[in-house]
């Protein structure tokens, strides 16, 4: 494990790119510490199986909690965030502007908060992903002529990561944190693609998990296959998302309540993409990279195996609402709560209703309940007021 400090360069670049939104105060203020690490992991990704790869982990912790020592000081206070399909951990959960950082909110409430970059994201290793020829022909055309003169043949003709390799990534970080803080269990929070990643992990390693929070899991289908196809699966190893797709189409294009998105926030989030993925920022008009993924098993059989206390949240404008309602019904946990959030899209982490996420997750992680209720279906209205449905 190596300590690293990316924070200053990242924040400085973003501030220059989006000067109309003032940056938050230094995260070290208020006795809150930010610690960045690179963890050595023996990869199970087929293209580099058995080779060492870096996994980036950020920690936010109050100085008093850190000084309190090990063992009981951290009991039921350790949580790990796992990001989704394109935005790495710092962009998803630690936006350095006012009260947007979900990580900081929980850390200030007394939790030891971690977030990780999966293989192929952010500051973790990017095997097979630096060559734009390893994009699909359709995505290569987006880079012509600035980055590529013409469409080229992929050097690696398979999808990159899969359900097993991503579970191994999460397991490596979970075990690192458990050893670091001398705890048997930690809590998990997964957003979007982080839902299938954490859900698959929890279904396989429930003994390592205390409480669980899902925000709008992607890829859930009751009829997904239980077993893997032949691996690696034919394809290409890398995909990209442009601003036109990620910000304009997938986010702003789904919002029916424009006043729930602070003016300038979409520009600010896109400005943070450059420091999060500086190479892809130079491709075409700018992009975020992600590994291609071969998934299986996030289905009714897997959901039944999740018996740890689970809070599932989803925005009412999120197209994943139906599949998440199915997921909630299929969860094997007796202690489970569903929270629908009004005036919220799939990207509620960057919207005004983010405060609902913050408060609900804190209640769940601290008390195992939502407003004193350990099971049931609830709704947060446009003001954030939560009532039973």
Which tens digits make up the pLDDT trace of 206-234? Answer: 999 999 999 999 999 999 999 999 999 99
pLDDT value for 26: 35
**6 pLDDT more than 70:** no
- Decide if 109 is inside a domain: yes
Arithmetic mean of pLDDT, 143-167: 98
Residue 39 in any domain: the answer is yes
252 within domain boundaries: no
Flag whether 133 is in a domain. no
What pLDDT sits at residue 13?
36
Tell me, what's the pLDDT at 1? 66
More confident residue, 309 or 258: 309
pLDDT score of 70: 62
Residue where the block lists tokens 């960045």: 36
Place of tokens 């990242």: 10
Residue 322, in any domain of the structure: yes
> Whole-angstrom Cα distance, residue 160 to residue 48?
10
Per-residue model confidence (pLDDT) at position 71: 62
Residue 348 lies inside a defined structural domain of this protein:
yes
The answer to whether 36 and 4 have CB atoms below 8 angstroms apart is: yes
Residue 156 lies in a domain: no
For 251-304, what is each residue's pLDDT tens digit?
A: 999 999 989 999 999 999 999 999 999 999 999 999 999 999 999 999 999 999
Report pLDDT for 9.
35
Mean pLDDT, residues 172-201: 97
Closest to 350 (Cα-Cα) out of 195, 212, 192? 192
pTM of the entire predicted model: 0.93
Domain that includes residue 207, residue range: 2-125+162-235+296-388
Task: Please determine, for residue 23, whether its predicted confidence score (pLDDT) is greater than 70.
Answer: no
Q: Report how many domains make up the chain.
A: 1
CATH number at residue 172: 3.40.50.1820
Task: Supply the pLDDT for residue 309.
Answer: 98
Residue of 88 and 27 predicted with greater confidence = 88
Residue 121 has phi, psi (to 5 degrees) of -130, 150
Q: Please check whether residue 155 is in contact with residue 256, taking contact to mean a CB–CB distance below 8 angstroms.
A: no
pLDDT tier for residue 68 given thresholds of 50, 70 and 90: confident
Structure confidence by residue, pLDDT tens digits, 88-135: 999 999 999 999 999 999 999 999 999 999 999 999 999 999 999 999
Long-range contacts of residues 47-54, Cβ cutoff 8 Å, at least 24 apart: 47/127, 47/128, 47/156, 47/158, 47/160, 47/232, 47/237, 48/127, 48/128, 53/119, 53/124, 53/125, 53/127, 54/123, 54/124, 54/125
pLDDT per position as a tens digit, 311-363: 999 999 999 999 999 999 999 999 999 999 999 999 999 999 999 999 999 99
Asked whether residue 245 is assigned to any structural domain, the reply reads no
- Compute the average pLDDT of residues 166-170: 98
How many Å apart are CA 126 and CA 77, to the nearest integer? 31
pLDDT score of 67? 87
């Amino acid at each position: 494990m190596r300590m690293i400090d990316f924070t200053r360069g990242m924040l400085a670049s973003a501030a220059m790119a989006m000067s109309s939104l003032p940056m938050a105060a230094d995260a070290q203020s208020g006795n809150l510490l930010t610690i960045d690490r690179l963890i050595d992991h023996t990869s199970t990704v087929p293209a580099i199986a058995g080779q060492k790869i870096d996994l980036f982990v950020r920690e936010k912790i109050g100085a008093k909690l850190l000084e309190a020592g090990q063992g009981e000081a951290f009991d039921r206070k350790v949580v790990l965030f796992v990001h989704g399909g394109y935005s790495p951990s710092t962009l998803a959960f630690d936006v350095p502007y006012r009260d947007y950082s979900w990580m900081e909110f929980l850390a200030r409430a007394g939790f030891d908060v971690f977030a990780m970059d999966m293989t192929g994201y952010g500051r973790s290793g990017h095997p097979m992903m630096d060559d734009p020829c390893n994009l699909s022909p359709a995505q290569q055309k987006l880079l012509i002529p600035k980055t590529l003169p013409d469409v080229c043949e992929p050097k690696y003709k398979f999808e990159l990561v899969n359900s097993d390799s991503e579970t191994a990534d999460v397991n490596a970080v979970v075990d690192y944190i458990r050893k670091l803080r001398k705890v048997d269990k930690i809590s998990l929070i997964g957003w979007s693609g982080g839902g299938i990643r954490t859900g698959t992990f929890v279904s396989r390693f429930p003994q390592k998990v205390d409480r669980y929070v899902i925000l709008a899991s992607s890829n859930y289908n009751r009829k997904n296959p239980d077993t893997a196809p032949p691996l690696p699966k034919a394809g290409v190893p890398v995909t990209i998302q442009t601003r036109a797709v990620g910000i304009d189409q997938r986010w702003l294009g789904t919002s029916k309540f424009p006043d729930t998105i602070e003016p300038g926030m979409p520009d600010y989030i896109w400005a943070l993409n450059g420091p999060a993925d500086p190479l892809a920022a130079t491709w075409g008009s700018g992009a975020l990279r992600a590994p291609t993924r071969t998934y299986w098993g996030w289905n009714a059989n897997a959901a039944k195996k999740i018996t740890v206390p689970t809070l599932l949240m989803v925005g009412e404008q999120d197209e994943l609402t139906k599949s998440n309602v199915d997921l909630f019904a299929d969860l094997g946990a007796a202690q489970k709560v569903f929270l629908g959030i009004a005036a919220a899209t799939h990207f509620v982490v960057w919207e005004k209703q983010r405060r609902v996420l913050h408060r609900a997750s804190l209640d769940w992680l601290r008390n195992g309940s939502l407003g004193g209720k350990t099971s049931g279906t609830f709704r947060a209205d446009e003001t954030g007021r939560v009532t039973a449905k």
